[in-house]
Chain A
Amino acid sequence: MTMLNERQQLSYIAAQAADARLNVELETEGMTLNIGPQHPATHGTLRIIARLDGEQVVWAEPVAGYMHRGYEKLTEVRSFPQVTTLINRIDWLGSFANEVPFILAAEQLMEIEAPPRAQYIRTILFELSRIANVSLFLGDLGVQMGAITPVFMAFRDREYVLNLIEGATGGRFHPNFDRIGGLKDDLPKGWIAETKQVMKKLRQFCDEIEDLLFGNEIFQSRTRGVGIIPADVAKSYGLSGANLRASGVDWDLRRDQSLPMAWDQADFKVWTHPDGDSWARCWIRLQETREATKIVDQLIDNIPAGPVMAKVPRIIKVPEGEAWVSTENPLGEMGYYVVSKGDLGPFRVKIRSASFNNISITPWVLKGVYVPDIITILASLYFILGDIDR
């Protein structure tokens, strides 16, 4: 070590002290950012608490429960036909799809099966509600990234689908059309021809969205490589639906499960994407909308003749037993575990809704992302608050 004179030593100490002071001044404090409970980007009343270091998220957690309406308790004091009124409102964008698994579970317990015509119409309405649900997602996606036009287009073309649902069921939003043993009514006159036209329009809408949004450079740079979920993590968090398929897992309950529905009569492709990022999730949903229009087109030509209602006693008493039925809803796997004690109403209903599991991955996926990416990742995960909280 070289010998330093006193002056040099003093200047060295002074320099060290200045460095230390500077480090103290530049040290950043953590900041807690609260998003919600009412925020346009959270699709309802989700609240997200994110702890930030500068622009990066260190820790994030969703706070659910702002839309908890106590479904599982309410089903215990309703009779079986009354429950469908409630469960329509779980995932409010694809209402008809919510009824189907519950009705199927009740039918399983009663050991009856809907006639084939009812099964076909159920499947068609199920896919229509999927289109109504996902088309709004495609429009909403643009809004999260600053593009207002797609949402206008989505609302424009979604109205046609809602008109179809209203024409068949009488309810624009909450059809409440399913009955135990079939459907309330048959299809109205002229509905089939109109449906074909609307499906053409919807395919055009998908093309438009693909050109306008998915081909956009800003959209791609904000979604590609952002929020990557590997397949094993997705599986361990219990993701389902398009979020799981976007991680490369080929899993679709419509194809993998045999239910008394008409999906096995249609030829459709289950799309998967190997990337697992936000872009993949959005792209999978776009392809699913297209596949849904194709399913409707195939089924609508082959609806068998016959009644739409099986023989069911006037006062419905479901025999004692337990049944679990889940279907591939627009948001993912939705299932009902129905326990009946032979009364007018169910003894206990456990609702497994897709969004609750889909949102549970947010602490994992939001770790380390930048603040603007929170919004795009949440948008691409696609949840509905009623489906989370129930």
Chain B
Amino acid sequence: MGLVDRGRMPAPLTKLFNMGRSYSMWVYQWGLACCAIEMGAAFGSPRYDVMRLGVIPLPASPRQADLVVVSGTVTDKMAPAVKRLYEQMPEPKYVISMGSCANCGGPYWDSYSVTKGVDQIIPVDVYVPGCPPRPEALLEGIVLLQQRIKNEDMAAKWRNEEFTTLQKTAALQQAEARPAPEPIVVGGGPIE
């Protein structure tokens, strides 16, 4: 992966890697409250069957996971554990916040002990609304995340840039390649 390190990654290779990454995601199930059961239904039940999307829901530890689904109410007592979990995951890592509680506090918006949204602690890639969301909604969130990963510029992601897409990088490169316009000087003629 030295190529990625140096920020020189050919686009076709990036696409190949991205495809591989998006269809072999290991999901860590960070089930906290009601949503954990719907997440269990999405991941463990024969009706929804997340494995057909190329997602493996049973890593033994966050150190093996690419994606974490934070499902349920994050309380202030739990928040340090959530942050620690996120720090244990290897890069590149993604977070899906499932349910109103994890998104913004949900029905406990005025509670004294609930963290109003997990995005106050860790960065979130996909928000799945609902209380709790149906398993289909979580599956859609995962599909959207896969689309995003497929379109990601790995080198830019490595440099910790936000919103890294292949199109954005291409546009930036095009802008660099264009010759810089000559400075316009009022009164005509270059200044010596």
Residues of A within 8 A of B (CB): 37-38, 40, 44-45, 65-70, 73-74, 77, 85-86, 89, 92-93, 136, 151-152, 155-156, 158-159, 172-174, 385-386
Return the chain A residue nearest B105 by Cβ. Answer: A69
Contact A155 B47 (CB under 8 A): yes
Q: CB distance A45 to B78 under 8 Å?
A: yes
Contact flag A92-B78 (CB < 8 Å), given A69-B73, A156-B45 = no
Q: Which residues of A contact B143 (CB under 8 A)?
A: none
Closest beta carbon of chain B to A49's beta carbon, Å: 15
Chain B contacts to A: CB under 8 angstroms? 29-34, 36-38, 40-41, 44-47, 73, 75, 77-78, 81, 85, 107-108, 110-114, 131-132, 134
Decide if B41 touches A386 in the complex (CB within 8 Å): no
Q: Which residue of B lies closest to A85 (CB)?
A: B107
In the complex formed, the residue of B with least CB distance to A173 is B132
Among B32, B47, B75, B132, point to the contact of A159 (Cβ < 8 A).
Answer: B47
B102 → A minimal CB distance (Å): 13
Query: Contacts A152-B44, A172-B134, A174-B131: A86 and B34 contacting too (C-beta < 8 A)?
Result: no
Pairwise interchain contact B111-A67, C-beta atoms closer than 8 A: no
Contacts of B40 in A (CB 8 A): 155
Contact A92 B44 (CB under 8 A): no
User: Please, how many angstroms separate the alpha-carbon atoms of A174 and B37 in the complex?
Assistant: 12
A304 to B63, CA, bound (A): 58
B33 and A173: CB pair below 8 A? no
What's the nearest-Cβ distance from chain A to residue B29, in Å?
Answer: 8
Closest chain-B Cβ to A140's Cβ sits at a distance in Å of 9
26 A-B pairs (CB sep. < 8 Å): A37-B78, A38-B32, A44-B31, A45-B78, A65-B77, A66-B81, A67-B32, A67-B73, A67-B78, A69-B113, A69-B114, A70-B111, A70-B112, A73-B111, A85-B107, A89-B34, A152-B44, A155-B40, A155-B46, A156-B45, A156-B46, A159-B41, A159-B45, A172-B134, A173-B34, A386-B34
Return chain B residues, CB-CB under 8 Å to A173: 34, 37-38, 132
Residues of B within 8 A of A158 (CB): 41
Closest residue on chain A to residue B81 by CB atoms: A37
The chain B residue sitting closest to A140, CB to CB, is B40
Residues in B whose Cβ lies below 8 Å from that of A386: 33-34
If the complex has contacts A386-B33, A386-B34, are A66 and B77 also in contact, measured as CB distance less than 8 A? Answer: yes
User: What B residues does A44 contact at CB under 8 A?
Assistant: 31-33, 36
B41 and A74 contacting across the interface, CB-CB below 8 Å: no
Nearest 5 A/B pairs, CB to CB? A155-B45, A92-B34, A70-B111, A66-B78, A70-B113
What B residues does A65 contact at CB under 8 A? 77
Which chain B residues lie closer than 8 Å to A152 at the CB level?
44-46
C-alpha spacing A247/B131, complex, angstroms: 37
- Contact yes or no, B37 A136, CB < 8 A: yes
Say yes or no: A68 contacts B46, CB within 8 Å. no
By beta carbon, the residue of chain B nearest A93 is: B37
- State whether A69 touches B108 (Cβ < 8 A): yes
A45 contact set on B, CB distance < 8 A: 32, 78
Check if A38 sits within 8 Å of B81, measured CB to CB. yes
Q: Which residues of B lie under 8 Å from residue A38 when comparing CB positions?
A: 30-32, 81, 85
Are A155 and B113 touching (Cβ within 8 A)? no
Contact of B112 among A40, A67, A73 (CB under 8 A): A73
A353–B126 Cα distance when bound, in Å, is 34
